Amino acid sequence: MDNVALIGMVSIAIAGLTIAIGSIGPALGEGRALAQALSALAQQPDEANTITRTLFVGMALVESTAIYCFVITLILIFANPFWAYITAQAGG
């Protein structure tokens, strides 16, 4: 097996692990945030606007972690920084 194939296989495997592990935390965080927000809404229905607005901002921040992992996955698959180095070393 040559280096180019090895870099390709490792890049795809790491991209899969990045998106798999990187999406577990935000999913759990969003679920917990939603559960706590619903609990707060049940206890204080008069503060629904404030709780909802804060919930949406918090969920956007939590989701940004998953988006960063997705961007890293796309970079590893489509714009891998090691491809140019390996192909130059391989003479291709």
Residues 16-60 have pLDDT tens digits of 999 999 999 899 989 999 999 999 999 999 999 999 999 999 999
CB 3 within 8 A of CB 54: no
CA distances to 13, 25, 30, 33, 52 from 64, rounded to whole Å, are: 22, 11, 11, 15, 18
Instruction: State the CATH number of the domain containing residue 31.
Output: 1.20.20.10
Residue 73 backbone phi and psi in degrees, to 5: -60, -45
Q: How far apart are CA 52 and CA 83, in angstroms?
A: 46
How far does Cα 35 stand from its chain's mean position? 21
Report percent pLDDT > 70 for the chain. Answer: 99
Q: Is pLDDT at 86 greater than 80 in this prediction?
A: no
The domain total for the chain is 1
Range of the domain at 25: 3-90
Q: pTM of the entire structure?
A: 0.72
